[in-house]
């Protein structure tokens, strides 16, 4: 292996470590919010009991509305059956929505996955980050990310679709290039390397202003 190849490998490894650390911080932040809400649960009950004792029903309704809004910010919106997938998807969905990006997600993983948590984190995290970056360039009413995950026989199927500014993307040398600047292209390289190593299938397609990535990963 020449010096240039070793340098590229080191940069990819460094990018992977940074990516995983970022995702775990996002997940940890989400669960900190959940733990904080649970910690305050007793106080919320006592406050509503006080309003009930005073028969202040309007105050109780206002309090419940506020709690409903607060809980919605930390509620787990996706339950796939796989804890790590739940953590990554929910943290990224929360991040996307905080940036005014709508997310439609349908994910079901009823079996224990063969893929490692680090590989799964890198694939889903990169796909989501790329979709968020592309969506942010659009007017808010056009921002949408569609996520679908399920088992197709013995294979895990992952599909991400987002809309892009400027219509159909162009390929260079047979591949779609990242437009996010130096260093960001390593995310695409990392996904490709993981899928190849696991003997999977990957397809990227740009049509009618929508960019879709589809991945199949054997789980047997």
Determine, yes or no, domain membership for 18. no
Q: What is the pLDDT along the chain (220 residues), one digit of tens a residue?
A: 567 666 666 766 666 666 666 666 666 666 666 666 666 777 778 888 888 888 888 888 888 888 776 665 555 567 787 777 887 888 888 888 888 999 999 998 877 788 887 788 889 988 998 899 999 989 989 999 999 999 998 999 999 999 987 655 455 444 445 444 444 456 788 899 999 999 999 999 988 789 999 999 998 7
* Domain range for 190: 76-218
Cα(131)–Cα(126) distance, rounded to whole angstroms? Answer: 8
In a domain? residue 11: no
- Chain-centroid distance, C-alpha 106: 12
CA distance 44 to 14: 45
For the beta carbon of residue 57, count every other beta carbon within 10 angstroms. 10
Residue 137 within a domain: yes
Q: Is residue 179 part of a domain?
A: yes
Is residue 27 in some structural domain? no
Q: What is the CATH number of the domain that holds 154?
A: 3.30.565.10
For residue 153, count CB atoms less than 10 angstroms from its CB and return exposed for 0-12, middle for 13-18, buried for 19 or more: exposed
What domain count does the chain have?
1
Residue 126 in domain:
yes
Distances (CA, A) of 54 to 24, 49, 57, 65, 66: 45, 9, 8, 19, 19
């Amino acid at each position: 292996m020449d010096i240039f190849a070793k340098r590229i490998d080191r940069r990819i490894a460094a990018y992977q470590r940074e990516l995983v650390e970022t995702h775990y911080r996002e997940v940890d932040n989400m669960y900190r919010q959940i733990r904080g809400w649970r910690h305050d649960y007793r106080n919320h009950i006592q406050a509503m009991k006080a309003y009930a004792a005073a028969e202040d029903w309007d105050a109780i309704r206002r309090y419940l509305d506020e709690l409903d809004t607060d809980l919605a910010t930390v509620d787990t919106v996706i339950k796939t059956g796989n804890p790590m997938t739940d953590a990554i998807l929910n943290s990224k969905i929360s991040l996307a929505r905080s940036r005014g990006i709508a997310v439609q997600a349908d994910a079901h993983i009823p079996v224990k996955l063969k893929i490692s948590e680090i590989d799964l984190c890198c694939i889903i995290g990169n796909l989501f980050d790329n979709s968020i970056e592309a969506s942010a360039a659009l007017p808010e009413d056009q921002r949408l990310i569609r996520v679908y995950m399920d088992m197709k026989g013995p294979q895990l199927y992952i599909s991400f679709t987002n809309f892009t500014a400027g219509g159909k993307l162009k390929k260079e040398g047979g591949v779609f290039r990242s437009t996010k600047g130096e260093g960001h292209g390593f995310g695409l390289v990392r996904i490709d390397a993981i899928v190849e190593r696991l003997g999977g299938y990957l397809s990227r397609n740009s049509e009618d202003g929508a960019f879709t990535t589809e991945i199949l990963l054997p789980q047997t």
